[in-house]
């Protein structure tokens, strides 16, 4: 009987020892796993931080170019250094970085539609892109400061608060073009068609005739000679709107909302390190003294 009891105790002790070893093994494996995850997280954060620093350096370089550019000329055009820098790439440790500068005022400013001339141009752009312009009254209601609905297609709080989920009219300028998706009548399909040609800037920002695309140029009037426009602009940038009218023989040009210089620019680029990449874009404002400031900055995923 004592022998059986002793064997039983030894069996229990063996089981306890095995259990302790199993628990120790599980704990060790768990610690190694957690350490591996922690190291990957640390490496990811470090890689992201390094890529972000490179992107900020590109942003600073863009600001320098824009400041120097203003010293040379009061007009802005596609022949200047900042515009020719598109797609410029440079090697970095373990990868490559590339960047470019885009004139934000080459795109249609959706916040300018309260001005009749610009509303007319926006309607033409929509029609040319096969987009119904019926949402424009609702866009104007979204931007203006009053709560009065602008016609049948307009929309104020009474429309938006009845939605699920409900929200209210901004009654201010759009801070980003993505906000357009909140406006009555703007579907994702409409937004994607317009997105390459629009931007949200202060309402006072004008279209730069020296940098705008042919799609935007086509909104300025009917029966424009686009090929002649591109040829003359490439040969010599327009020094003034009067210069444009004379060289293009376009005396009927409506000058409101147009310019030959710009204040707002988009610096954008990519940082590649190994098989990982980070994209960024920044909206830069340059005043008439050449001082620059960042209005917004967007950074894409580092994957």
The predicted-structure confidence for 69-113, as pLDDT tens digits, reads as follows 998 888 999 999 899 876 677 777 777 888 899 999 999 999 999
Contact criterion met (CB below 8 Å) for 82 and 121: no
Structure token pair of residue 114: 């309260």
Task: Please state, in angstroms and rounded to a whole number, the distance separating the CA atoms of residues 116 and 110.
Answer: 12
Strand pairing of 207-208 and 258-259? parallel
Task: Please state, in angstroms and rounded to a whole number, the distance separating the CA atoms of residues 145 and 120.
Answer: 21
Looking at residue 302, its pLDDT comes to 47
Q: What is the pTM of this model?
A: 0.83
Structure token pair of residue 220: 């300025």
- Give pLDDT < 50 ranges for the chain: 43, 302-303
DSSP-assigned beta bridge partners for residue 259: 208
Q: Nearest Cα to 54, choosing from 98, 8, 102, 19?
A: 98
Q: How far is CA 131 from CA 117, 124, 217, 239, in A?
A: 19, 10, 17, 34
Q: Is the dihedral of CA 38, 39, 45, 46 positive or negative?
A: positive
Q: Nearest Cα to 47, choosing from 302, 270, 268, 275?
A: 302
Looking at residue 272, its pLDDT comes to 83
Q: Nearest Cα to 110, choosing from 39, 173, 189?
A: 173
The predicted-structure confidence for 245-280, as pLDDT tens digits, reads as follows 999 999 999 999 999 999 999 999 888 877 778 888
Helix axes of 136-143 and 116-128: crossing angle, nearest 10 degrees: 140
Looking at residue 174, its pLDDT comes to 96
């Amino acid at each position: 009987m004592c022998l059986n009891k002793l064997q039983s105790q030894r069996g229990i002790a063996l089981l306890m020892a095995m259990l302790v070893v199993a628990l120790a093994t599980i704990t060790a494996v768990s610690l190694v796993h957690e350490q591996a995850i922690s190291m990957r997280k640390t490496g990811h954060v470090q890689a992201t931080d390094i890529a972000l620093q490179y992107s900020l350096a590109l942003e600073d370089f863009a600001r320098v170019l824009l400041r120097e550019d203003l010293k040379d000329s009061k007009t802005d055009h596609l022949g200047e250094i900042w515009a020719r820098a598109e797609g410029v790439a440079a090697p970095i440790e373990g990868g490559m970085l590339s960047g470019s500068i885009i004139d934000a005022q080459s795109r249609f400013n959706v916040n300018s539609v309260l001005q009749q001339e610009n509303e007319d141009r926006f309607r033409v752009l929509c029609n040319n892109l096969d987009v119904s312009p019926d949402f424009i009254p609702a866009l104007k209601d979204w931007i203006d400061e009053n709560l009065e609905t602008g016609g049948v297609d307009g929309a104020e709080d009474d429309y938006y608060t009845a939605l699920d989920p409900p929200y209210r009219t901004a009654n201010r300028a759009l801070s980003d073009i993505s906000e357009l998706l909140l406006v009555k009548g703007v579907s994702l399909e409409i937004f994607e068609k317009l997105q390459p040609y629009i931007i949200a800037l202060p309402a006072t920002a004008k279209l730069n005739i020296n940098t705008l695309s042919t799609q935007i140029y086509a909104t300025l009037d009917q029966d424009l000679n686009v090929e002649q426009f591109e040829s003359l602009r490439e040969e010599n940038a327009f020094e003034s709107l009067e210069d444009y009218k004379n060289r293009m023989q376009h005396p009927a040009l409506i000058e409101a909302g147009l310019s030959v210089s710009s204040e707002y620019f988009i610096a954008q680029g990519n940082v590649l390190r190994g098989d990982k990449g980070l994209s960024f874009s920044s909206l830069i404002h340059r005043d008439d003294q050449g001082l620059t400031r960042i209005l917004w900055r967007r950074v894409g995923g580092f994957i």
